[in-house]
Amino acid sequence: MIGWIHGEVKARDVSVPSVIIDVQGVGYELFVDPQTLASLPADGGRAELWVHTYVKEEALALYGFTSLEARTMFRMLLSAHKVGPKIALATLGGFSLEEIVDILRARDAKRIQRVQGIGAKMAEQIMVSIGDKAARLFGAPQANGETAVDDGDSLTRHAQETLVAWGFKNRQVEAAVAKVEAEMGDESITLEELLRRAAQEITAGT
């Protein structure tokens, strides 16, 4: 299973949309949302994407994302009843990640129906299936836009649960989170910063 890719942008197809990344002479085609495609460098530039490998019966496809959070949201959407990769990717292309999280927290079924392919019934199923899960993984918003947590123990737990949901192993997650928290000492840290630094710690050691 491919989880991350780093290479040269070889070509792109805006009609799909998709991008081909050349990794040591092998071209990997990844389906992406329009926002991701627009953020990539020009052909010949270097790019890195987090990857979801989709396998179903005889179909195999790669989907690319600029962040672990976006890939987590894609996978979360796929877990909802009758939501396939096309609709999940269209949702990520139609809203920012923050907007999707807000929609799921608020159970705003009407708003998510703006995505082509999502009708009233599917929208309600998405809210029921993953609304609570999104709130747990991404936390609750504060006035300053950061993610709120109750205390130090809760911060640690939220960070560990989120990193495991991103695909990291429990042992790696526990060690990385503990190291970052030890380095911070008594300094305060947001959930977003803890996730970013812990993920960097894990990927640097692999």
CATH number at residue 197: 1.10.8
Q: Which of 121, 138, 155 delimits the end of a domain?
A: 138
Residue 23 contacts by C-beta under 8 Å, 6 or more apart in sequence? 5, 6, 7
Model pLDDT, residue 198: 86
Model pLDDT, residue 49: 96
DSSP reduced 3-state for 61: strand
Q: Which of 65, 83, 104 delimits the end of a domain?
A: 65
Model pLDDT, residue 136: 77
Model pLDDT, residue 144: 47
Model pLDDT, residue 119: 94
| pTM, two decimal places | 0.69
Tell me which residue range forms the domain holding 85.
68-138
Total structural domains within the chain: 3
CA distance 97 to 71: 10
Model pLDDT, residue 200: 85
| Residues of the chain where predicted confidence (pLDDT) is lower than 70 | 139-154, 165-166, 186, 192, 206
CA distance 154 to 168: 19
Query: Is 77 in the same domain as 61?
Result: no
Query: Is 74 in the same domain as 120?
Result: yes
Q: Which of 105, 138, 171 delimits the end of a domain?
A: 138
What is the CATH number for 133? 1.10.150.20
* 89: nearest Cα among 34, 51, 131: 34
CB atoms within 10 A of CB 143: 6
Helices of type H across 21-112: 34-39, 68-78, 85-94, 97-106, 109-112
CA distance 85 to 122: 14
